[in-house]
């Protein structure tokens, strides 16, 4: 494939989406002659630039990418919704506007899951849903300008009685929609390191700098000392820095998972980066490994990982002995094509 600059590829992808409508990364990769990794990376950049949108529903495990204004075209993929979500879709498609409180519990849960098609709004302190093609002006005419809350509302989490929650159809939708419902309450602040942790990291970095500086000074003194012309001294060899228990834990985990470590890029007490390789159905695939020792992995950590993926042209394998916070979980859903997370 002839070399193209990044901007040309982005414009080509936009033209493909304009012609095809909502598409999967595999379709974009095929038409641009890019690998799935590169196609996903360019799609992620276009989404970050707000030039394209990503669907909430997934087709074969991947979301659909589309241009603003192509929302109605998502209807052709409604058959990929689960049974209750299809039922909710048919109801709102036919009735156009639904009162949340008048629906069965399973339908209320499903409406919160089909965010591509059902848009919540508030009127007289009640939650309603309008179909994506129903304009706000139409809603004003139905409810009256003075009554309608023009601002689009976020749908609150649904509350279901213990007896209703035991019903199979309700459980099915709740399980499949659990992550989606949580995204309606994104009020959780990104976890920040404590002052104690920051001070400890600064202290460790300064200690490492002092050790390196001392070694350089000793080497300089030895190198500049007077030596007989016939004496040849061997070059000073730097002793390998002992690996921290966390780095050893990461390397052992990679070995256990049959992931071959090819190169170490960075190794600190509580951080590690390197290039690894795994065997897949498509042959050997290289990964950029990022490992951090921390209790909570934040959205900021994953944002850096996405940037590393773009700059290194590899999928990132993010390892940690901690867990993802809520914002990180939501962020990972958007970029699961280029960042994979494993707890060690």
pLDDT tier for residue 10 given thresholds of 50, 70 and 90: very high
- Across the strands, what pairs with 260? 277
- Same domain as 115, residue 142: yes
DSSP structure class, residue 50: T
Q: Are 58 and 336 in contact (CB under 8 A)?
A: no
pTM (predicted TM-score): 0.47
**d(Cα 250, Cα 248) in Å, to the nearest integer?**
5
- Provide mean pLDDT across the span 245-250: 92
Across the chain, the runs of DSSP E, i.e. the strands, are 53-59, 62-66, 97-99, 118-123, 126-131, 148-152, 260-267, 271-280, 283-292, 296-297, 315-320, 323-324, 339-343
CA distance 53 to 344: 33
3-state secondary structure of 337: coil
Domain containing residue 258:
245-343
Question: Among 159, 151, 149, 150, which Cα is nearest to 181's?
Answer: 159
CB-CB contact of 92 with 129 (8 Å) = yes
Residue with the larger pLDDT of the pair 140 and 280: 140
Please give the pLDDT value at position 308.
85
Do residues 116 and 177 share a domain? yes
Would 195 be classed as within a structural domain?
no
Q: Are 241 and 248 in contact (CB under 8 A)?
A: no
* Residue 11 located in a structural domain: yes
188, pLDDT greater than 70: no
- Listed range (1-15, 99-113, 135-149, 320-334) with the worst mean pLDDT: 135-149
Contact (Cβ atoms closer than 8 angstroms) between residue 331 and residue 307: no
Domain shared by 88 and 59, yes or no: no
202 assigned to some structural domain? no
Give yes or no for residue 100 having a pLDDT over 90: yes
Residues 156 and 119 in one domain: yes
Quick count: other Cβ atoms within 10 Å of Cβ 200? 14
Check whether residue 56 and residue 136 sit in a common domain: no
End of a domain among 163, 185, 207? 185
Q: Which of 94, 111, 263 is nearest to 184 (CA)?
A: 111
Q: In this structure, what CATH number is given to the domain that contains residue 41?
A: 1.10.10.10
Task: Please tell me whether residue 282 adopts helix, strand or coil conformation.
Answer: coil
Which of 70, 96, 120 terminates a domain? The answer is: 70
Bigger pLDDT: 85 vs 338: 85
Given 158, 185, 212, the domain boundary residue is 185
pLDDT in tens, 192-228: 445 555 555 556 556 656 666 676 666 555 555 544 4
- φ and ψ at 23, to 5 degrees? -140, 160
């Amino acid at each position: 494939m002839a070399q193209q600059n990044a901007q040309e590829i982005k414009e080509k992808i936009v033209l493909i989406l304009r012609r095809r409508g909502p598409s999967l990364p595999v379709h974009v990769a095929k038409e641009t002659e890019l690998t799935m990794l590169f196609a996903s990376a360019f799609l992620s950049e276009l989404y970050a630039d707000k030039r394209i949108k990503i669907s909430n529903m997934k087709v074969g495990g991947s979301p659909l990418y589309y241009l603003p204004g192509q929302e109605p075209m998502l209807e052709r993929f409604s058959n990929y919704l689960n049974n209750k979500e299809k039922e909710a879709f048919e109801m709102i498609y036919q009735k156009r506007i639904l009162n949340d409180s008048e629906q069965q519990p399973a339908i209320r849960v499903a409406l919160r899951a089909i965010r591509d098609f059902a848009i919540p709004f508030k009127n007289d302190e009640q939650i309603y849903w309008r179909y994506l093609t129903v304009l706000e002006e139409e809603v004003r005419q139905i409810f009256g300008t003075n009554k309608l809350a023009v601002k689009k509302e976020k749908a609150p989490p649904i509350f279901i009685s213990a007896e209703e929650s035991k019903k199979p159809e309700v459980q099915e939708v709740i399980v499949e929609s659990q992550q989606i419902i949580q995204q309606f309450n994104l009020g959780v602040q990104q976890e920040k390191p404590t002052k104690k942790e920051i001070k400890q990291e600064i202290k460790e970095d300064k200690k490492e700098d002092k050790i390196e500086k001392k070694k350089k000074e000793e080497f300089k003194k030895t190198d500049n000392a007077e030596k007989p012309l016939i004496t040849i001294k061997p070059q000073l060899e730097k002793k390998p820095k002992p690996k921290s228990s966390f780095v050893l834990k990461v390397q052992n985990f990679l070995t256990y998972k049959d992931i071959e470590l090819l190169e170490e890029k960075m190794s600190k007490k509580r951080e590690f980066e390197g290039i690894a390789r795994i065997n897949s159905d498509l042959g050997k695939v290289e990964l950029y490994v990022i490992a951090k020792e921390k209790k909570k992995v934040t959205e900021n950590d994953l944002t850096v990982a996405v940037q590393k993926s773009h700059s290194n042209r590899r999928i990132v394998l993010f390892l940690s002995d901690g867990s993802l916070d809520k914002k990180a979980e939501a962020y990972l859903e958007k970029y699961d094509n280029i960042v994979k997370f494993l707890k060690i």
